[in-house]
Amino acid sequence: MTPLASAGDGKRRADPRRRRIVRGILVMLVAAIGNAGCTHDIHLAPAPPLAAATTTTGPWASMIFAARTDSGVVVIDLGWTGADKALRSLLTQLGATTADVRWTFLTHAHRDHIGAWRTVQASTLVLGRDEIPFFTGSARYTGLVPRIGDRLVSYPHPGKGELRLLPIATDTAFVLGRDTLRAFPVPGHTAGSTVYLFRETLFAGDAVNWRVTSGFRGARSEYSDDPKRSRASLASLLRRIDSAGVRWRVLCTAHGKCGLADSTLRARILR
Ligand SMILES: [Zn+2]
């Protein structure tokens, strides 16, 4: 085992850079354990034959959702480890291929939600306007864990012109034949975090988190650029959905944790 310190002068003095890296790995591992594992009531999300959801492998269990509409296949979020294979398998369940994906909606561009971006190159990728610099790699997240992760291990970003990006900065409705998909900016977890309401399900990204110990609540501070702003955005979101008169029945986080959107859940996500 490589020692973390040398004992040259009789005292153990750790190399500061190595100590930072080890601390970073420990923080990420602890955070991963807290976020981990399996899905929770993912069956509440729209299901086959017209829609399907899965999570990619690894401790993060990042969700990918796909659905057939009159205007082609839509995908929400792109997973992480093994995302390309997971997405293709999901599309097979719908009798579709990657060429059928017309719209891809990203809740945000943290590395664990964009894994399969190369697989959907033929689609239009919709994301928050303020998220684009982070997606393309010209800006860096400031949340504790993403910041440490960026220092330790890089990940691929799309180059200029490589993808067709559609930025949104205000509440926006996409009419897809008989379906309407609504996008609502909820800045805070990241600057351009956006949630999507589709077939009575709110795809809340990481603006909402679920843990065994605490159930549903707002964005986790160690992953978020501005958790206080995220909570304010969620409070505003609930008012905006209500004033638009749009019904929603289910909420799913970007890690495959779903629940019925009753008054208890609506109160809990503001915590
Ligand atoms: Zn995130």
Task: Give pTM, 2 decimals.
Answer: 0.88
Q: What is the pLDDT of residues 174-195, one digit of tens each?
A: 999 999 999 999 999 999 999 9
> How close is the Cα of 14 to the center of ligand 1, in Å?
32
SS3 236: helix
Q: What is the pLDDT of residues 243-255, one digit of tens each?
A: 999 999 999 999 9
pLDDT recorded at residue 7: 33
Transcribe 18-53 into DSSP letters: HHHHHHHHHHHHHHHHHH-S--BSGGGS--TTTEEE
In a domain, 184, yes or no: yes
**Alpha carbon distances (Å) from 40 to 65, 153, 167, 255, 259:** 15, 29, 31, 9, 8
More confident residue, 73 or 21: 73
> How close is the Cα of 135 to the center of ligand 1, in Å?
12
> How close is the Cα of 190 to the center of ligand 1, in Å?
7
> How close is the Cα of 11 to the center of ligand 1, in Å?
41
> How close is the Cα of 108 to the center of ligand 1, in Å?
7
pLDDT for 21 beyond 60: no
> How close is the Cα of 84 to the center of ligand 1, in Å?
19
> In which band, very low, low, confident or very high, does the pLDDT at 19 lie, cut at 50, 70 and 90?
low
The dihedrals phi and psi of 82, each to the nearest 5 degrees, come to 70, 25
> How close is the Cα of 111 to the center of ligand 1, in Å?
8
> How close is the Cα of 12 to the center of ligand 1, in Å?
37
In a domain, 29, yes or no: yes
Spell out which residues have Cβ within 5 A of ligand 1, the ion.
110, 206
In a domain, 80, yes or no: yes
In a domain, 26, yes or no: yes
Task: Give the chain's domain count.
Answer: 1
H-state helical runs in the chain = 16-35, 83-93, 132-135, 144-152, 227-244, 263-268
> How close is the Cα of 189 to the center of ligand 1, in Å?
7
Q: What is the pLDDT of residues 193-208, one digit of tens each?
A: 999 999 999 999 999 9
In a domain, 4, yes or no: no
> How close is the Cα of 184 to the center of ligand 1, in Å?
16
> How close is the Cα of 10 to the center of ligand 1, in Å?
44
In a domain, 9, yes or no: no
pLDDT recorded at residue 9: 38
Instruction: Give percent helix, percent strand, percent coil of the chain, each to the nearest 5.
Output: 30, 25, 40
Burial environment of residue 66 by CB neighbours within 10 A (0 to 12, 13 to 18, 19 or more): buried
> How close is the Cα of 212 to the center of ligand 1, in Å?
18
d(CA 88, CA 16): 43
d(CA 175, CA 69): 10
Domain that holds residue 150: 14-268
In a domain, 172, yes or no: yes
Q: What is the CATH number of the domain that holds 183?
A: 3.60.15.10
In a domain, 215, yes or no: yes
